[in-house]
Amino acid sequence: MFWADKIAQDIKEKNLPLAWVDDMKTPSGRIHVGSLFGVVFHDLVYKALKDQGVNAKYTYVFENHDPMDDIPSYLPREKFEKYLGMPLFKVPSPVEGYKDFAEYYALEFKETFNKIGSNPEIIWTKDLYTSGKMNPGIKKVLDNAEEIRKIYQEMYKKEIASDWYPFQVYCEKCGKVSTTRVYNWDGEKVHYRCVVDATDWTKGCGSEGATSPFSDESGMKGKMPWKVEWAVKWQAIGVTIEGAGKDHMSRGGSHDLATLVCERVLKYPVPYPIRYEFMLIGGKKMSSSKGQGFAASDMLDILPAELVRFLIVKKDINQQTNFDPAEKNTIPTLFDEYQKAADAYCNKTDEDLARIFEFSQVDGIKKLPAVRFSVLAQWVQMPNMQDEIKKQGLEEWAKYARVYIEKYAPDSEKFVVQKSLPDVAKNLSEKQKEFLKTIASELDKAFNAEDFQTQIYESGKALGLSGKETFAAIYLSLIGKDHGPKAAWLILSLDKEFVKKRFEEISNVILGSKATPESHNESDSGQARMTDFQQARTISPEIFSLSKEVTEKFPSISVGVAVIKGVNIEKTNPDLEKEKQEVLESLHGLTTEALGQYQEIIAYRKLYKEMGVDWHSRRPSPEALLRRVALHKGLYTVNTCVDAYNLVVMKHRVSMGAFDLDKTVFPTEVRFAKDDEEILLLGDTEPTKYKPTELGYFDGNGGFSLDINYRDAQRTAAQLETRNLFINVDGFYDITPEMVEKSLQEACDLIIKYCGGTVEVFGVKK
């Protein structure tokens, strides 16, 4: 049974003449989304009670009589500083058109909870006091000040002064409440001082006086400390059900104190408590006191009202949970769950989930979109889908899909139809181009999207293309990425003539001859090949450059740079293992002496000598790899990316590295290290210091390789979760730019063969 129904059942057995549910909040600034949880949880109990035929009422108390004890960071301090210590209803509203500060923020919050379907009756504490309803409680509390001191002493295990009274007067002279101290109660009047140094955030006026503590229509005289007041309020209103978040409800917390006041002083039955855990928003505890945070009203900017309500209703009240809209899939998953709950409701499959759906409704049960939110998030990025969205009645959700794409979606879910042919599409294989030509000629036939999707797949297959190659051809030519929304829907959302022209344009692009004679041909690579470069392209300094000092000292240096996007790196691959075995066999008989004869190995040793590094203790990476082979230690298995390019390193003895593009802060460069620069190497726990004579690859966060190719940094390592790669290959002395380019080309080919992806940048800097 849903938790609120269980509580309602429990309460029903008490046979109360009226079940009065209440919750409260001090409107001291923008009210944080966290406070919505209390409103809705109490609302659920109230509605569950009504469903069981219990006479119930739900009120919400805005504590506008509390003092302003802090100025929210988004308000001008100089304007509000003089009001610190005064009750919020005496502080002016930050925005014109509202009675006071408290009203402005309270109404903003009320509007939000009304929008998500909670409509408690509002009570303002100032009215509660001036109506005289609190006065009997105030009298009891003052008459029993000694008992209340005892309760405080018991709970907090500290001595309470015998002239302390549970009441604070609104100073008759300066109007502040936080600064006054009552030191006597004579049965008619409380005697007080407004203490100059009572707090460290506002000053008292130093005056003394005696006044009746009983508020009436003429105004408020003072208030009780809130934990005592909480209990007095229960009795004054007649509350029978009220809970709070865990921080107030834990042992020794404010609820325990209010309970003792109820039992020992007021003789009023403690309301039925609803105890709940918090939800963190983006990993932060919900609190409105510090900074602007995530206000309740902000929630409605990112989710429809019923989804905000659903997020709260479905929460396990006994578990702390987290909602991070910026985390991948958080928002699409919430919509999916909502649709699942709707199914449970319609098909009567899961009773609790059905009840959650029912309780999440704001005004009646609306017909739900049949399309998943993630699909809708693609539709809103496609041109010409407005009609379809309208036809299916998806405008409301589409609005939020646009917000999601703009604010929270990862780049992999975003796309833009390119106005001109994307550069990456120029490298499609001949078969892919032929395929696009076929599709262009089919466009005039009228298809529905489902059939067209099948047709696309079949056309690719007929030409010997894999599904991946087939769809990549479409995506690369339309949106410049190798993945995207369902291809048929994408194409049909576009102007037919535009697509036709684009596909024909691609099939007319003529590629140059293959750059390297021994590069794999199409049939054995089995992947979309993007590396048919006629010649290396120039690399923009925004991506990579060589420092002047480096080119002056090492005029022979050349660095090949490539970016491959959309890779899928795996732990191992059986075909790759086979290829590694073959390379091992081809190196059979290699000795450490023979190794030192290779011109490339000699080149790197010379570089190390120039950098002041002993190559006996730090081996350049090609040498280190081949030494393992010579010493029969076998090959490392790191992952399919690193293993693939290591094959090229062993073959050509030219060093290279592949890094996580998304963890690299561009621009990058090869330069000498600066004083005190350090690098945390892969596999190490302590950073290593560079010497100023040592070279490395550097990005916006510092070095990501030590001695060019000795070892790489942890932070940029290409790992299983890496999606985009930044690759570099470096040559010195006898290692020519042509050798560098050839090695880079082969590395790209092999990485794409085993990890997929598309080359987006390729070139050699010298």
Q: Which helix (H) or strand (E) holds 725?
A: strand 724-731
**Rounded Cα–Cα distance for residues 490 and 502 (Å):** 14
If the CB atoms of residues 168 and 655 are measured against Zn ion, the closer one turns out to be: 168
Span near Zn ion by CB under 5 A; candidates 116-124, 164-172, 406-414, 532-540: 164-172
Span near Zn ion by CB under 5 A; candidates 98-106, 145-153, 174-182, 306-314: 174-182
CA 647 to chain CA mean position, Å: 38
Q: State how beta strands 190-194 and 19-25 pair.
A: unpaired
How many Cα neighbours within 13 Å face the side chain of 715? 15
* C-alpha closest to that of 184 among 169, 174, 170: 169
**Rounded Cα–Cα distance for residues 685 and 625 (Å):** 23
Span near Zn ion by CB under 5 A; candidates 170-178, 214-222, 441-449, 510-518: 170-178
If the CB atoms of residues 180 and 724 are measured against Zn ion, the closer one turns out to be: 180
If the CB atoms of residues 173 and 691 are measured against Zn ion, the closer one turns out to be: 173
Q: Could you tell me the smallest distance in angstroms from the CB atom of residue 206 to Zn ion? A: 7
Residue 641: which residues within 8 A CB-CB, separation 6 or more? 567, 569, 658, 718, 722, 725, 751, 754, 755
Q: Could you tell me the smallest distance in angstroms from the CB atom of residue 113 to Zn ion? A: 36
For residues 190 to 209, the per-residue mask of contacts with Zn ion, x marking binding by CB under 5 A and - elsewhere, is ----x----------x----
Q: Could you tell me the smallest distance in angstroms from the CB atom of residue 207 to Zn ion? A: 5
The type of residue at 725 is L
If the CB atoms of residues 177 and 265 are measured against Zn ion, the closer one turns out to be: 177
**Rounded Cα–Cα distance for residues 11 and 271 (Å):** 10
Size of the site for Zn ion (CB under 5 A): 5
Q: State how beta strands 121-124 and 56-62 pair.
A: parallel
The CA angle 711-714-720, to the nearest 5 degrees, is 110
Q: Which two tokens stand for residue 93?
A: 């509203």
Span near Zn ion by CB under 5 A; candidates 2-10, 186-194, 490-498, 572-580: 186-194
Binding flag, residue 307, Zn ion (CB under 5 A): no
If the CB atoms of residues 171 and 506 are measured against Zn ion, the closer one turns out to be: 171
Residue of 174, 382, 727, 759 interacting with Zn ion (CB under 5 A)? 174
Residue of 49, 171, 236, 647 interacting with Zn ion (CB under 5 A)? 171
Q: Could you tell me the smallest distance in angstroms from the CB atom of residue 149 to Zn ion? A: 24
If the CB atoms of residues 92 and 209 are measured against Zn ion, the closer one turns out to be: 209
Q: DSSP H helical segments within 116-241, as ranges?
A: 125-130, 135-143, 145-156, 226-237
If the CB atoms of residues 193 and 355 are measured against Zn ion, the closer one turns out to be: 193
Burial of 598 (0-12, 13-18, 19+ CB in 10 A): middle
Q: Could you tell me the smallest distance in angstroms from the CB atom of residue 220 to Zn ion? A: 15
If the CB atoms of residues 207 and 540 are measured against Zn ion, the closer one turns out to be: 207
If the CB atoms of residues 180 and 655 are measured against Zn ion, the closer one turns out to be: 180
Q: Could you tell me the smallest distance in angstroms from the CB atom of residue 189 to Zn ion? A: 17
**Rounded Cα–Cα distance for residues 214 and 138 (Å):** 7
Do residues 195 and 204 make contact, with C-beta atoms less than 8 angstroms apart? yes
If the CB atoms of residues 94 and 209 are measured against Zn ion, the closer one turns out to be: 209
Window 201-260: residues binding Zn ion (CB under 5 A): 205
Helix (H, G, I), strand (E, B) or coil at 432: helix
Q: DSSP H helical segments within 348-482, as ranges?
A: 351-359, 373-379, 386-391, 395-407, 430-442, 449-462, 467-479
If the CB atoms of residues 194 and 376 are measured against Zn ion, the closer one turns out to be: 194
Residue of 173, 390, 609, 691 interacting with Zn ion (CB under 5 A)? 173
How many Cα neighbours within 13 Å face the side chain of 56? 24
Helix (H, G, I), strand (E, B) or coil at 649: helix
Q: Could you tell me the smallest distance in angstroms from the CB atom of residue 209 to Zn ion? A: 9
If the CB atoms of residues 173 and 372 are measured against Zn ion, the closer one turns out to be: 173
Q: Which helix (H) or strand (E) holds 374?
A: helix 373-379
If the CB atoms of residues 148 and 171 are measured against Zn ion, the closer one turns out to be: 171
Q: Could you tell me the smallest distance in angstroms from the CB atom of residue 194 to Zn ion? A: 3
Q: Could you tell me the smallest distance in angstroms from the CB atom of residue 69 to Zn ion? A: 16
Q: Which helix (H) or strand (E) holds 697?
A: strand 695-699
Q: Could you tell me the smallest distance in angstroms from the CB atom of residue 173 to Zn ion? A: 5
**Rounded Cα–Cα distance for residues 361 and 306 (Å):** 6
Q: Which two tokens stand for residue 503?
A: 């596909």
For residues 707 to 736, the per-residue mask of contacts with Zn ion, x marking binding by CB under 5 A and - elsewhere, is ------------------------------
Residue 63: which residues within 8 A CB-CB, separation 6 or more? 24, 25, 26, 27, 88, 125, 226
If the CB atoms of residues 173 and 537 are measured against Zn ion, the closer one turns out to be: 173
Q: Could you tell me the smallest distance in angstroms from the CB atom of residue 181 to Zn ion? A: 11
Q: Could you tell me the smallest distance in angstroms from the CB atom of residue 258 to Zn ion? A: 28
CA 486 to chain CA mean position, Å: 26
Q: Could you tell me the smallest distance in angstroms from the CB atom of residue 195 to Zn ion? A: 9
Helix (H, G, I), strand (E, B) or coil at 48: helix
If the CB atoms of residues 173 and 571 are measured against Zn ion, the closer one turns out to be: 173
Q: What are phi and psi of 310, to 5 degrees?
A: -60, -45
Span near Zn ion by CB under 5 A; candidates 163-171, 208-216, 472-480, 484-492: 163-171
Q: What is the DSSP string of 529-587?
A: -----SSPBP--TTTEEE-HHHHHH-TT-EEEEEEEES----S--HHHHHHHHHHHHHT
If the CB atoms of residues 85 and 622 are measured against Zn ion, the closer one turns out to be: 85
Span near Zn ion by CB under 5 A; candidates 172-180, 280-288, 303-311, 701-709: 172-180
Q: Could you tell me the smallest distance in angstroms from the CB atom of residue 152 to Zn ion? A: 25
Q: Could you tell me the smallest distance in angstroms from the CB atom of residue 226 to Zn ion? A: 21
Do residues 476 and 424 make contact, with C-beta atoms less than 8 angstroms apart? yes
As a residue count, the chain comes to 766
**Rounded Cα–Cα distance for residues 716 and 714 (Å):** 6
Window 628-657: residues binding Zn ion (CB under 5 A): none
Residue 216 neighbours by CB distance under 10 Å: 13
Q: Could you tell me the smallest distance in angstroms from the CB atom of residue 196 to Zn ion? A: 9
CA distances from 512 to 378, 429, 523 (A): 36, 12, 19
In the complex, the residues that contact Zn ion under the rule CB under 5 A are 171, 173-174, 194, 205
